[in-house]
Amino acid sequence: MLIEYMKEAYPNFQKELPDVHDLQEFYKASKKRFDEDPDFKSRAQRAVVDLQAGDDFAHSAWQKICDVSRRSFEKIYQRLDISIEERGESFYNAMIPPLVDELKLRKICQESAGAMCIFTPSVSTYPLMVIKSDGGFGYDSTDLAAIYHRLLVMRADWIVYVTDLGQEQHFHMIFDAAEQAGWHRPPLTRCDHMGFGVVQGEDKKRLKTRSGDTVKLSDLLDEAVQRAAFEVRKKVEEQQKEGGEAFLTDPKEQMEAAERLGIAAVRYFDMKQNRTSNYVFNWDRMLDPKGNSAVFLFYAYARIRSIQRKAEASGAGGAGGPSSFHVEVIDPAERDLAMKLVQFPDVIETILGDLHLHHLTDYLWELCNILTTFYVKCKVLGEEAQDSRLLLCEATRKVMLKGFELLGFVPLEKI
C-alpha cells in the first residue's frame, strides 16, 4: 500500500528519502486512498504479492522505507538503553512455503473456502489462515513461521509476545497451532502473550495530541525531560535558599540528571499500572516527588547515598563498609524494613509467574515508604546502632538498585 502510494506521490523516494514524519503522513494518505479507491487497492495488493515473491523494485522500495523507520527507531532505542536484534516479517518469508508444505503433508492444515487453515477450537471458532484464498500469505503465516523458528531453530525455552490486548486471542491460536505441530511442548517450552491496555488522556479516550494525532514516544520523552529539568532546578534553588549543600549546580549536570529522571518517570508510570487495564496519562502524578513516582524513589535512593557519604567522611564506613558486620533488629521500624527486604525474591517469583510488572513497582513504593519511617524513628549516624543501621541502609540500596535495573533505569547518586 505504502510502496504503491509513494511511487505516485514521491517518485524519487528511493534516492531522496523522506524523514519519518513524512513517512507517517504518506501512510495516512495511502490508507485513505486504499479505503476509497478500488483500483489503487488492487494495485497495492499486487505490490504485496510482488514483495513476497522477491520482485527487485518492490524489495528495493520496501528496504528504503525500512531504512527511514529504522533510523528513527534507533534514536529511541539508544535513548532508552535498549538493545535489539531486528527480525522483521521479511526475515521469515523464505521459511513459509516449505513450512506450509509440511503442515499440509501432516494434515494439520485443512482446506476451507479455498484457503488452507488450521483450526484451534479450544481458543477460537475462527481458523488461522495459513494460505489465503487468493494464494497469498498473511500475518498468520508469518507468525507461524516465527514461532517455528524461535522454538525449533533458536531453541527458545520461553517466548513472551508483548502486544496490545486486542491480539491476545490471535497469539493463543498461534500457540495452539504450534502445539498441534509439536513445536511447542508444555511444560518443556513456555509461550506467553503479555498484553497491555490503552493509554488514555484525561478525557478517558486514547491519548492524542491537540490536533488529534497519535502522541509520538520521542515527543513524550522530550516533554518528560523538560518537566524533570524544571523539578531539578527547583530542588537546587531550595537547597541554596536553605543554606545547605546544593548538588547539580552545573547546567550540564542538571540536564543529564533531567534526562535520566524524566525517562525513568515515564517508564515507572507506565509499568506501575496493571498492564491489562487502560490508564489515564497524567504529568503531575508522573513527576510527583511525594507520590508513587520514580522521582520519589530517586529521592529515597539519594538519601541513602547521602547518609553513606557522611559515614565515609566521618570515618564510620560507607556503602557496605561499617566497622561491624552484625545486624541487630530492635526497633519496630528496623524490623519492618528488614522484613520488607526479604520479600524481594518472592516479588520476582510472582512476576515470573504472571508477567505483571506492577508487583515490582508496588514493592519499591512500599519499601521506600517503610524506609522513610525508618529514617524518622531510627537515627543512623552517631548512634550505638550505627553499624547495624548502615548495613540495613546498604541492603536497602542494593535491593532498590536491582529493582531499578529490572525496570530499566539508573538512579541519581545526588539530587
Name the percent of the chain lying above pLDDT 70.
Answer: 89
- In terms of Cβ atoms closer than 10 Å to its own Cβ (0-12, 13-18, 19+), residue 230 is exposed
pLDDT, position 320: 46
In this predicted model, what pLDDT tens digit does every residue of 32-57 receive, in sequence order? 877 887 887 887 777 777 776 777 77
The average confidence (pLDDT) of the chain is 88
Which residues are CB-neighbours of 174 under 8 A, at least 6 positions away?
128, 140, 143, 144, 147
Q: How far apart are CA 208 and CA 196, in angstroms?
A: 18
H/E run at residue 280: strand 279-280
- Cell triple for residue 261? 529522571
Spatial contact of 177 and 140, defined as CB atoms under 8 Å apart: no
Q: Where are the beta strands (DSSP E) in 44-203?
A: 110-112, 115-118, 128-131, 158-161, 190-193, 199-200
In this predicted model, what pLDDT tens digit does every residue of 78-122 receive, in sequence order? 999 999 998 988 899 899 999 999 999 999 999 998 999 999 999
Q: Is the pLDDT of residue 330 over 80?
A: yes
Domains of the chain (ranges, CATH numbers): 1-86 (no CATH), 90-195 (no CATH), 217-407 (1.10.730.10)
pLDDT, position 89: 86
pLDDT, position 349: 98
Mean pLDDT throughout 339-365? 98
Q: Is the pLDDT of residue 209 over 80?
A: no
Name the percent of the chain lying above pLDDT 90.
Answer: 63
Q: How far apart are CA 96 and CA 102, in angstroms?
A: 10
Candidates 269, 302, 271, 272; CA nearest to 283 is 269
Task: Write phi, then psi, for 40 (nearest 5 degrees).
Answer: -65, -40
Mean pLDDT throughout 196-223? 83
In this predicted model, what pLDDT tens digit does every residue of 232-269 receive, in sequence order? 998 888 888 877 666 888 889 999 999 999 999 999 99
pTM: 0.85
pLDDT, position 20: 52
Q: How far apart are CA 367 and CA 339, in angstroms?
A: 10
Spatial contact of 180 and 187, defined as CB atoms under 8 Å apart: no
In this predicted model, what pLDDT tens digit does every residue of 139-189 receive, in sequence order? 999 999 999 999 999 999 999 999 999 999 999 999 999 999 999 999 999
- Separation in Å, CA 72 to CA 77, 95, 233: 9, 29, 30
12: confidence class by pLDDT, cuts 50, 70, 90: low
Mean pLDDT throughout 366-393? 95
pLDDT, position 7: 62
